[in-house]
Chain A
Amino acid sequence: MNEQDETLQIFFAETEDLLRSAEESLLRLEAAPQPGSDVEELFRAIHTLKSGSAMVGFPLISEYSHVLENLLDRMRSGRLTITKPLITFLLTDLDFLRQMVDRGGRGEPEADPETVRTRKAQLNRFLGMEAIPGEDVVPQAAKQPAPSPAQAAAAPSAPAKLSAALPRVDADGARYYQIDMKFRPEIFQSGQDPLLLILGLSEMMEVVDVLADLSNLPPYERFDPYSLYISWRLVVKGKAGIDEINDVFLFVKDDNAITIEDVTGRFKAGVDLEAGERPLGEVLLERGIITREDLGEALLKQKKLGEILVEGGKVEAGVLRQVVTQQEESRTTYRKTSVRVDVEKINHLVNLAEEIGVSVSRMKDILDRSESRPDPEMEQELEGLLKINREFQERVSQVRMFPLEGTFRRFQRIARDTAFEQGKRIRVELNGVDTELDKEVIEHITDPLKHLVRNSVDHGMESPEERLAAGKNPEGLISFNAFQKGGMILVQIRDDGRGIDMAKVALKAAEMGILKPGETVGPENLLEFLCRPGFSTAGAVTALSGRGVGMDVVRTEVEKLGGTLSVSTVKGEGTTFTLSLPLTFALMDALHVKVRERSYLIPLWGVVGTEAYRPESARFFGADGRVYPFREEYVPLVSLASLFGVPGAGGASEPGRVLVFLDTARQRFGLLADRVLDPHQVVVKSLEINFKSVKGVAGATIMGDGSLSLVLDLFALEEMVFRQGGSNA
């Protein structure tokens, strides 16, 4: 016996009880024919039978009980006199009901319609002239096997209207509705939850936009967690009709302010919720309803709030003026704290500051060279001017400095999106987001960095399965780090992925014919291969990282800025790309050195010390390399004269020369020069255009005395020194 049969059995047993109890009540009524508990009990029995029979699928029994119930209701309220013939008739009615139940239980039709009609006519006679209204109202569910879910619940308010108004889906597409919901604050007390309604709505319609009005939220101390303070405006889109939407709010619409408006016409082109937030005039203007002139005219006529209040006697004019003044003050204060300036204007200032710097340097040079002894006061003033100008330049440069945070956040997003597309799981860590870089530098490195980020996720990061198999956290870690080291800003992109496979790189390099016979790929020359145009370690070019910018472009961009790119990788542990960038690339402090009559400028950030050269301290190393003791270690030594082939320069043993020790954050070495002069602030311009081809030179600048000086590129120098084993002394 299944559960439905079980319900049927319960129904039969219950009906038996109900009919017996009804019979007993009728018999007691026969003895004492007046309204009271007996009629109540009789009524309830028939009422229960009515719903029960409908639930288990005996519509005729339900229908007949319904008519009977109406009659009993009149008896109950005293509108129908209880008489013996009535009781006799009701007793036969109970027999009729029992008969119908029995027939239904045997699987036969409960009764033939003719018999039902005859009995109903008899019942009507007891009601005199009145017709029994119940005849028309038949249980909906009993008549229609599958009505809309809303019907049963909505039936009492408007049964006929509802079935007629069942939503007709518009064939030509979706409609937009704007629904405003303002609930009673105490709605939760009735066990209702507005969120469920919104959820219900979202099941049948697409929610285009939601606005929550939080303006009624009280301060925390007065907040009652059992009250609702929020009201909503939703715009939904879909094929449901307005009645279907109404059904969602069936239980709440009577006691709460719910308005549903079909706004399809207004929003056909798209939903414009902001219209509600903007001034009316603007909206009307935009929709072409009024002209700009109309609006201007209307605005002129419009009175100010303050004037209206003063006229109405609500505020004294003096008080109003005071408040308005305060408002003005607060606005000006705000304006003072922040200004937006075109970056071009700032650049112009930076250039001017630089030129002033050059002029002042030249004046100092002229004074130094003059025959007569310079006026001490003049000298002092010039010193002061130099100092002020230095600070001025720094400050102006700082205006262009921006924290890297915004750039890093964009990368975080790129990393996540890339990982998501490839089914990889990553966590992104940002360090040093406050680190500032020149705006122009940031703009130039954004694209190269983007490429590196994608590379890390695309090539570096393993799939979660691979990571698990390797005993790693299935969630990979990508970190963006930025920090200052010396005069450089280091920006790193680090992943804890699989690392770069040197063997694979070697294989690819050999394939491309760029690996010389006998050459191997190692940490020191890895980047050279990676930065070859068209080189990619991945077998297939993916849509993301393998397109457009290559590593070669990345390196070129970084070097253009006077920075360097480096890579370190450990197989199975991850890869780190590091960009070393100058704080700002327009201005540089440099040490002025001379070899014979030639001037060279060494970026001051790399200079760690200078000392008089003692030829006897140099040690020969290998065939013709030399090293020199510096701070308890021997560093390679190279002569500027030989690096740049200065004619007539003295040999290594010539006395009175000076050593400049350099530290590029990767290597230390010493440069041999003839003389060291005062540090200079120099402007390096158009470096990549004219001097790109001269190795070791970043650019040129005009010195205070009008002569030309070469600005050295420390990283290039470092490369020259270490690749050639310092053999150029």
Chain B
Amino acid sequence: MQKHIMVVDDSPTIRSSVAFCLRNAGYEVDEAKDGQDALERLDVLKEAGTPLALILTDINMPRMDGLTFIGKVKATAFRYLPILVLTTEGEQGMIDRGKVAGASGWLIKPFHPEQLLWAIRKLIYTK
């Protein structure tokens, strides 16, 4: 069965390119445009019984930012899910704040597809 990965980013460009890369690598991708949207999608997945393998989330987003979102995920049944934060260069402090919030790893934008997959391989079992 294909593994589900949720991509949370307010930029459609980032979502599209990340999703493109993940689908190419054989993953099923769920997209959410901010933390709020992502939480709602998590509820839908939970209802449908779809297992999720990983969340990729941006930090700086409208409505609900990434750090708040991670904190909320940690209070749900998805709390042991690996979460990869997407940050931009020059945001060293963000990585630390992400780790405190409960992120499992990070990825600096912009990244190459192989960098994305390399980071994912550290967090989930791949075929």
Name A residues whose Cβ lies closer than 8 Å to a Cβ of B.
Answer: 3-4, 6-7, 10-11, 13-15, 44, 47-48, 50-52, 54-56, 62, 66, 70, 134, 137, 139-142, 146-147, 149-153, 155-157, 159, 188-193, 196-197, 199-200, 226, 248, 250-251, 254-255
Cβ A250 vs Cβ B89 within 8 A: no
Among A141, A146, A251, A254, the residue within 8 A (CB) of B110 is: A141
Say whether B103 faces chain A, with CB atoms less than 8 Å apart. Answer: yes
| Known contacts A55-B13, A153-B105, A156-B95; A193 and B123 CB within 8 A of each other | yes
Say whether B12 faces chain A, with CB atoms less than 8 Å apart. Answer: yes
**Bound CA span A147–B115, Å:** 9
Lowest 8 A-B CB distances belong to which pairs? A54-B110, A191-B82, A149-B118, A52-B13, A191-B104, A251-B105, A51-B109, A152-B111
Interface centre among A50, A156, A189 (most CB of B within 10 A): A156
Cβ A153 vs Cβ B110 within 8 A: no
CB-defined contacts of B16 to chain A, threshold 8 Å: 6-7, 10-11
What are 24 of the A-B contact pairs (CB < 8 Å)?
A3-B20, A6-B20, A7-B20, A14-B12, A44-B10, A47-B88, A51-B13, A51-B88, A51-B109, A55-B14, A56-B13, A137-B90, A140-B89, A141-B111, A149-B112, A156-B95, A156-B108, A190-B103, A191-B103, A191-B104, A192-B123, A200-B121, A251-B104, A251-B119
Among B12, B95, B121, the residue within 8 A (CB) of A196 is: B121
**Bound CA span A255–B95, Å:** 13
**Bound CA span A690–B118, Å:** 78
Interface mask (B27-39 → A, CB under 8 Å = 1, otherwise 0): 0000000000000
Cβ B112 vs Cβ A141 within 8 A: yes
Cβ A44 vs Cβ B60 within 8 A: yes
**Bound CA span A188–B85, Å:** 17
CB-defined contacts of B106 to chain A, threshold 8 Å: 153, 156, 251
Among A4, A44, A137, A153, the residue within 8 A (CB) of B118 is: A153
| Known contacts A4-B20, A190-B99, A191-B83; A155 and B123 CB within 8 A of each other | no
CB-defined contacts of A56 to chain B, threshold 8 Å: 13, 17
CB-defined contacts of B117 to chain A, threshold 8 Å: 149
Task: Please give the number of chain B residues whose Cβ is less than 8 angstroms from any Cβ of chain A in the complex.
Answer: 46
- 18 further A-B contacts with Cβ under 8 Å, apart from A10-B12, A149-B112, are A4-B20, A7-B20, A10-B13, A10-B16, A47-B60, A51-B14, A52-B14, A62-B110, A137-B90, A141-B110, A149-B118, A153-B106, A156-B91, A156-B108, A199-B125, A250-B122, A251-B122, A255-B99
Among B17, B92, B102, B122, the residue within 8 A (CB) of A7 is: B17
Among A10, A153, A159, the residue within 8 A (CB) of B107 is: A153
**Bound CA span A55–B17, Å:** 7
| Known contacts A10-B12, A137-B90, A251-B106; A192 and B60 CB within 8 A of each other | no
Cβ B107 vs Cβ A152 within 8 A: yes
In the complex, which residue of chain B has the Cβ closest to the Cβ of A149? B118
**Bound CA span A48–B10, Å:** 8
Say whether B62 faces chain A, with CB atoms less than 8 Å apart. Answer: yes
CB-defined contacts of B11 to chain A, threshold 8 Å: 14, 48, 51-52
**Bound CA span A142–B20, Å:** 19
Cβ B92 vs Cβ A156 within 8 A: yes
CB-defined contacts of B20 to chain A, threshold 8 Å: 3-4, 6-7
Interface mask (B77-96 → A, CB under 8 Å = 1, otherwise 0): 00111110011111110010
**Bound CA span A52–B11, Å:** 7
In the complex, which residue of chain B has the Cβ closest to the Cβ of A193? B123
CB-defined contacts of B125 to chain A, threshold 8 Å: 196, 199
In the complex, which residue of chain B has the Cβ closest to the Cβ of A43? B60
**Bound CA span A11–B16, Å:** 9
**Bound CA span A196–B60, Å:** 29
Among B79, B89, B103, the residue within 8 A (CB) of A137 is: B89
| Shortest CB distance A647–B (Å) | 88
| Shortest CB distance B23–A (Å) | 8
| Known contacts A147-B112, A149-B112; A188 and B92 CB within 8 A of each other | no
| Known contacts A14-B12, A55-B14; A157 and B110 CB within 8 A of each other | no
CB-defined contacts of A66 to chain B, threshold 8 Å: 89-90
CB-defined contacts of B104 to chain A, threshold 8 Å: 190-192, 251
Interface centre among B14, B60, B102, B106 (most CB of A within 10 A): B14
CB-defined contacts of A200 to chain B, threshold 8 Å: 121-122
| Shortest CB distance A38–B (Å) | 13
Say whether B114 faces chain A, with CB atoms less than 8 Å apart. Answer: yes
Say whether B124 faces chain A, with CB atoms less than 8 Å apart. Answer: yes
CB-defined contacts of A142 to chain B, threshold 8 Å: 110
CB-defined contacts of B83 to chain A, threshold 8 Å: 191
| Shortest CB distance A491–B (Å) | 47
**Bound CA span A159–B108, Å:** 11
CB-defined contacts of A147 to chain B, threshold 8 Å: 112, 115
| Known contacts A11-B13, A56-B17; A191 and B123 CB within 8 A of each other | yes
| Shortest CB distance A194–B (Å) | 11
Cβ A188 vs Cβ B80 within 8 A: yes
| Shortest CB distance B83–A (Å) | 6
CB-defined contacts of A149 to chain B, threshold 8 Å: 112, 114-115, 117-119
CB-defined contacts of B121 to chain A, threshold 8 Å: 196, 200
Among B89, B109, B118, the residue within 8 A (CB) of A55 is: B109
| Shortest CB distance A248–B (Å) | 7
Interface mask (B47-83 → A, CB under 8 Å = 1, otherwise 0): 0000000000000101000000000001000011111
**Bound CA span A151–B123, Å:** 17
CB-defined contacts of B112 to chain A, threshold 8 Å: 141, 146-147, 149, 152
| Shortest CB distance B18–A (Å) | 8
**Bound CA span A14–B13, Å:** 7
**Bound CA span A189–B112, Å:** 28
In the complex, which residue of chain A has the Cβ closest to the Cβ of B18? A55
Cβ A139 vs Cβ B13 within 8 A: no
CB-defined contacts of A157 to chain B, threshold 8 Å: 92, 95
| Known contacts A51-B14, A55-B110, A62-B110; A191 and B122 CB within 8 A of each other | no
CB-defined contacts of A188 to chain B, threshold 8 Å: 80
**Bound CA span A192–B74, Å:** 14
CB-defined contacts of A14 to chain B, threshold 8 Å: 11-13
Cβ A153 vs Cβ B119 within 8 A: yes
Cβ A197 vs Cβ B122 within 8 A: yes
Cβ B118 vs Cβ A7 within 8 A: no
| Shortest CB distance B123–A (Å) | 7
CB-defined contacts of A250 to chain B, threshold 8 Å: 105, 122
| Shortest CB distance B100–A (Å) | 10
Interface centre among B16, B62, B86 (most CB of A within 10 A): B16
Cβ B122 vs Cβ A139 within 8 A: no
**Bound CA span A388–B121, Å:** 75
CB-defined contacts of B118 to chain A, threshold 8 Å: 149-150, 153
